Amino acid sequence: MDNRKLGQLEVSPIGMGCMGFSHGYGQVPPEAYAIEAIRKAYDYGCTHFDTAEAYGKEQFYAGHNEELVGKAIEPFRKEVVLATKFHIGELPQPDETSLYREMRRHLEDSMSRLRTDYYLHRINETVRLEDVATVMGRLVKEGLIRGWGLSQVSANQIRTAHEITPLSAVQNIYSMVERDCETEIFPVCLEKGIGVVPFSPIASGFLSGKVTAQEQFGFDDVRKFVPQLSKENIEANRPILDLLHRFAVEKNATNAQISLAWMLHKYPNVVPIPGSKNQERILENLGAWNVTLSDDEFRQLQSALDECKVHGHRGCVETE
């Protein structure tokens, strides 16, 4: 497998979303299991791990996931790229000075748990994006971060921010059933040399084919809010699963691996971060970088996918 670039940062072609060890997919596994999973992913070749300061605040406390990831990667910290995210709250005086203090506080809190690269987790309309980009540039110059990114943003917001302080990555939703990014996000990121880090690249498990219409999601399981995972839409979107299964059989792979191999073939700047709390699924997802589609196979898959109607569009891109 060949590494890919997020701006100037070199990472494995598939990363690992670590949220599920603290929040989002129901009951979390024991900490020792989670740490072992992260270390197994690294041993397999994964060098990009994604977290956020908010992951875990529902079941534990803010920063729980960062602490867990920090413990797991301690033996090989210098060999990996970490990405965390924060959200700027309401500021009494949202000028550049107060914004710097607030962002520096978030950064120092995160760095007490792990040394990391940085995303802004959604846009706060009360704070000017231009000011955020300026402060990020200052943090880069100070050597506190190696790069920065934006999450769930529009193409215009990417252009605005990148002109002030070059972005390493943009993290938006993208998968076979959520393809809005293809219209504007990928073109502008390819033009500017920005990596695209899709979250939910397997559509919260739908594209794996392992989520059934009878699935019962618990109180802390975000999948109950995913449109494609309603009983009706699982059945309605079955042609997409059948298509994936056909290619999976031909390629001696799994549905999830085909869905990831599809986007890796399609865009040279894409680095998906599938998330799971199951060690077997984590290694299966990473194994997608060993599944190679020929140009002809990709065209067949893309053509058939274009013929499939998606039921239950999700969408998460903020508009201006």
* CATH number of the CATH domain containing 42: 3.20.20.100
Predicted confidence at residue 217, as pLDDT, reads 81
- The β-bridge partners of 120 are 86, 150
d(CA 274, CA 37): 14
Q: Find out whether 230 and 43 touch, Cβ atoms under 8 Å.
A: no
The residues carrying an active-site annotation are: 55
Any idea what the Cα angle at residue 197 is, between residues 209 and 9, rounded to 5°? Answer: 140
Residue 252 lies in a domain: yes
Are the beta carbons of 155 and 163 closer than 8 angstroms? no
Determine, yes or no, domain membership for 313: no
Q: How far is CA 84 from the centre of its chain?
A: 10
The Cα–Cα gap between 273 and 190 comes to 19
Residue 36 forms part of a structural domain: yes
* pLDDT the model gives residue 320: 29
Q: Which of 78-92, 130-144, 176-190, 227-241 has the lowest mean pLDDT?
A: 78-92
Beta bridge partner(s), residue 98: none
Question: What sign does the CA torsion over 127, 129, 133, 134 have?
Answer: negative
Residue whose structure tokens are 């792979």: 253
Q: Residue 243: inside a domain, yes or no?
A: yes
CA distance 229 to 256: 15
Distance CA 38, CA 282 (A): 9
pLDDT in the model for residue 319: 33
Percent of the chain with pLDDT over 70: 94
pLDDT tens digits, 199-214: 999 999 999 999 887 8
Total domain count for the chain?
A: 1
User: Is position 271 within any domain?
Assistant: yes
| Residue 314 is assigned to a structural domain of this protein | no
Sort strands 9-11 and 4-6 into parallel, antiparallel or unpaired: antiparallel
Query: Would you say residue 140 has pLDDT above 70?
Result: yes
Is 166 within the bounds of a domain? Answer: yes
Domain assignment of residue 269, given as a range = 4-307
* pLDDT tens per residue, range 7-65: 999 999 999 999 999 988 888 999 999 999 999 999 999 999 999 999 999 889 999 99
Q: How far apart are CA 16 and CA 18, in angstroms?
A: 6
Tell me what the pLDDT averaged over the chain comes to.
90
Tell me, yes or no, if the pTM score tops 0.75.
Answer: yes
Q: Give residue-wise pLDDT tens across range 241-288.
A: 999 999 999 999 999 999 999 999 999 999 999 999 999 999 999 999
Q: Is 293 within the bounds of a domain? A: yes
Single-letter code of the amino acid located at 156: N
Pairwise CA distance, residues 50 & 80, whole Å: 11
